[in-house]
Amino acid sequence: MQEPNTLGALDAAARMAAGTLTSEALVLACLERIQARDPDVLAWAHLDPALALSEARERDRERREGRVRGPLHGLPIGVKDIIDTATLPTEYGTPIYRGHRPAADASCVVAAREQGAVVLGKTVSTELANRHFAVTRNPHDLAHTPGGSSSGSAAAVADRMVPLAFATQTGGSLVRPAAYCGVTGYKPTYNSINGAGIKLLAPSLDTLGVYGRTVADAALFGSALIGFDMPSFPSAAGAPRIALYRTPQWSLAEPSMAAAFDAMPARLQAAGAAVAELALPPAMDAIIDASNIVNDYETRRSLAYERVYHLDRLSPTLGGKLVQAGRWSRVQYLDALRTVDACRHMLEDGLRGFDVLVTPSAEGEAPRGLENVGKTAFHQMWTMLHVPSVAVPVFTGPSGLPMGVQVIGVRGADERTLQAAHWVEQALRG
């Protein structure tokens, strides 16, 4: 018999609806998996098993009484530890906030509970969701990084500790861990999920998203939070029109990723998709530098308290970034925003006649060692452009670790992007 913690979110939800699985049994199986594996993986920052089981029993009681809250009813979730929770500590990945207990849940946590989710615990974040590495290891090979900053959430979903988890992205903090850990990461259109109660870094970039084991699982979580109808899979719309885009950072792709990406068009076409290479104007290359300026400028101001009063308690990685970020002037920041706006129009024009764009989801496999959380290549431009992106693990690298692609849509076209991502997932995994 399949252990409940190995079930995807959709499967588990269906079994609970049919009465063949309880939320309590599912949460207990997840907790047992955590007890067995987390001493090695180190995905969790805070757990309260008694509280999680109490919430699960309450969901089971509600179901018996015919009061199902929503599509997430009884499903356990992980909450990244930069997202406020009143029932568990929220330490933002830094000793500056050791033992911090917010007065209220973040809006997204309230929304998830309103839809019936059970908060299993808080997952590890890198320091203030920046690039200094955390303790979490890649569950596929403990000698490799899970990526950052949503390292704990990605590792927990990948290792069957929880079926769903929250993640955030300012540069590549959602998509990169999804790529390295081999899970689906869904970064919605900017500001689709309310960010109240989340530790801000760069408000023009910060995007809250979700992890699941498949595109359909991630779509279940995302649609429940955002409010659109759960897409029907497979789509009745048929094969998508796909634009392949190598991005201005193609030179950073490792040979294994480049080879897999080059072989992909034939597989997509054989499955029925219309596929063409996309060439955007050279001016699009400016998005990378513009994104770096916006990120630096806004992060320095968002973390003003930590920079001014606790610089000695920050890592050299983050402390140095905040100090160096002072070099950008207001004029340079506004120029960068104008560049970004121009690039948004270029992308929208380039995607006319296509349903989605497909790029690598990372430069290759997860690097060996924990200190290197990976590059922001292939991620940051899509965060800055505010478009929906779905990371789909469809390749295997030379060391046997996951690799994948991103399926990207235009702003607001989240349902269509998820439909196409599901199609790509089925075509390339088959």
The count of other CB atoms within 10 Å of the CB of residue 227 is 10
Rounding to the nearest 10 degrees, give the CA dihedral for residues 225, 227, 228, 234: 40
| 127-149 confidence digits (pLDDT tens) | 999 999 999 999 999 999 999 99
The closest alpha carbon to 280, from 306, 316, 247, belongs to: 247
Q: Examine the pLDDT at 215 and tell me if it is beyond 60.
A: yes
**Cα–Cα distance for residue pair 205/238, rounded to 1 Å:** 33
pLDDT reported for residue 236? 55
Interval 368-396 mean pLDDT: 96
276 strand-pairing partners: 243
Out of 80, 187, 321, 375, the active site residue is 80
Q: What is the 3-state secondary structure (H, E, C) of 309-343?
A: HCHHHCCHHHHHHHHHHHHCCHHHHHHHHHHHHHH
pLDDT of residue 232: 85
Active site residue 80: yes
d(CA 409, CA 382): 10
The span from the first CA to the last CA of the chain, in angstroms, equals: 25
List the chain domain ranges.
4-226, 241-284+336-429
* Cβ–Cβ < 8 Å for 368, 255: no
In DSSP terms, which residues pair with 357 in a beta bridge?
243, 408
Whether the model pTM is above 0.95: yes
Are 172 and 374 within 8 A, CB to CB? yes
Q: Per-residue pLDDT for 233 more than 90?
A: no
Buried b (16+ CB within 10 A) or exposed e, 18-52: eeebbbbbbbbbbbebbeebbeebbbbbbbbbeeb
Q: Which two tokens stand for residue 97?
A: 């906030």
What integer pLDDT is reported at residue 238 of this predicted model?
84
Mean pLDDT of the chain: 97
Find, among 170, 46, 156, 149, the residue nearest to 97 by Cα: 46
Residues ≥6 apart with Cβ < 8 Å to 184: 178, 211, 212, 213, 214, 215, 217, 218, 390, 391, 392, 393, 421, 425
Is 125 noted as a catalytic residue in this protein? Answer: no
Q: In what order do the strands lie in the sheet with 184-187?
A: 44-47, 118-123, 76-80, 164-169, 207-212, 184-187, 389-396, 402-408, 356-360, 241-244, 274-277
pLDDT average, residue stretch 82-90: 98
Say what percent of the chain tops pLDDT 90. 97
Could you give the CA distance from residue 369 to residue 372 in angstroms, rounded to a whole number? 6
CATH number for the domain formed by residue range(s) 4-226: 3.90.1300.10
| pLDDT exceeds 70 at position 400 | yes
Both tokens assigned to 321: 């970034």
Q: Is the pLDDT of residue 304 over 90?
A: yes
Tell me if residue 321 is catalytic.
no
Q: How far apart are CA 171 and CA 148, in angstroms?
A: 10
Q: What is the pLDDT of residue 235?
A: 61
Tell me: pLDDT of 28 over 80: yes
pLDDT band at 430 (very low <50, low <70, confident <90, very high): low
Instruction: For residue 418, name the pLDDT band (cuts at 50, 70, 90).
Output: very high
* Residue the block writes with tokens 């023009």: 204
Exposure string for 169-202, b = 16+ CB within 10 A, e = fewer: bbbbbbbbbbbbbbbbbbbbbbebbebebbbbbb
Out of 23, 107, 125, 149, pick the active-site residue. Answer: 149
Sign of dihedral through CA atoms 328, 333, 335, 340? positive
Q: Mean pLDDT, to the nearest integer, of 315-332?
A: 97
Q: Which residue has the tokens 């594996």?
A: 37
Can you tell me the distance from the alpha carbon of 90 to that of 407, in angstroms, rounded to the nearest whole number?
Answer: 32
Of the listed 23, 107, 173, 204, which one is catalytic?
A: 173
At residue 172, what is the residue type?
G
- Please give the average per-residue pLDDT across 193-218, as a whole number: 98
Question: What sign for the dihedral angle of Cα 116, 118, 122, 124?
Answer: negative
Q: Per the structure block, which two tokens stand in for 11?
A: 């499967």
